[in-house]
Amino acid sequence: MLIFLIGMMGSGKTTLGRQLAERLGYAFVDLDEYLEKRVGRSIAEVFEQEGQERFRELEREALEAVVLDYDDAVISTGGGAPCFFDNIDFINRHGVSCFLDVPVEEISRRLLASNLQVRPLLAGKSEEEVSSFLAKTLSLRKQFYEQANIQLKGPAISVEQLQHLLNNN
């Protein structure tokens, strides 16, 4: 089975995905890292050199490659992945999707305490700009995230909660 974690930057997809994979004895794939390995460059470099539009094409190609590469895996997607092309349909056709629905205030807090440079959409923004960008982006993306098979809501989603919900679906 392929389990896709989706949701905003900072919702904990990478962190929880790694923990969930360990519990299930599945491979763990972070789609951003997988893409970086494929293209031999960091996400920040791809954005800088070729722009977001090209990044979204490479992200789609990475999604297509990952479903061929793995039978059982937890795949933490990048925050924008389900929101471009027909990626959410592609994800739902190939696995179980799970939306980590963390309040935007909590996401802002987490990201402002982290290194913004590794997330090119946030790099160089002030605290206020980060908060308003995240709120606006979530309002545009929610329609895609809400197509997930499973939704988990709260400011502190745990791996236990996630595993419990998956077992009951």
Binding residues, as ranges, are 10-15, 32, 56, 79, 119, 141
Q: Does 14 bind Mg ion (CB under 5 A)?
A: yes
Contact between 150 and 97 (Cβ < 8 Å): yes
| The binder of ligand S3P chosen from 2, 3, 9, 46 (CB under 6 A) | 9
> By C-beta, is 26 or 34 nearer to Mg ion?
34
Q: Does 14 bind ligand S3P (CB under 6 A)?
A: yes
Tokens of 105: 């205030």
Report the candidate in 151, 50, 147, 143 with the shortest Cα–Cα distance to residue 91: 147
Segment contacting ligand S3P by CB under 6 A, of 7-15, 62-70, 147-155, 160-168: 7-15
Which of ligand S3P, ligand ADP, Mg ion, none lies near 80, with the C-beta cut-off 5 to 8 A by kind? ligand S3P
Contact set with ligand ADP (CB under 6 A): 9-15, 76, 110, 114, 156-157
Residue with tokens 């904990």: 12
Which positions from 69 to 88 touch ligand S3P by CB under 6 A, shown as an x/- string? ---------xxx--------
Binding-site annotation, residues for ATP: 10-15, 119
Q: Which residues pair with 96 in a beta bridge?
A: 3
Q: Residue 153 in 3-state DSSP?
A: strand
Segment contacting ligand S3P by CB under 6 A, of 15-23, 113-121, 144-152, 158-166: 113-121
Report the candidate in 75, 83, 84, 71 with the shortest Cα–Cα distance to residue 32: 75
| DSSP per-residue codes, 10-36 | TSSHHHHHHHHHHHHT-EEEEHHHHHH
Q: Residue 1 in 3-state DSSP?
A: coil
8 vs 159: CA distance, rounded Å? 17
CB of 18 to ligand ADP, least distance (A): 8
> By C-beta, is 79 or 95 nearer to ligand ADP?
79
> By C-beta, is 71 or 80 nearer to ligand S3P?
80
Q: Is 143 left (phi over 0), alpha (psi -120 to 50) or beta?
A: alpha
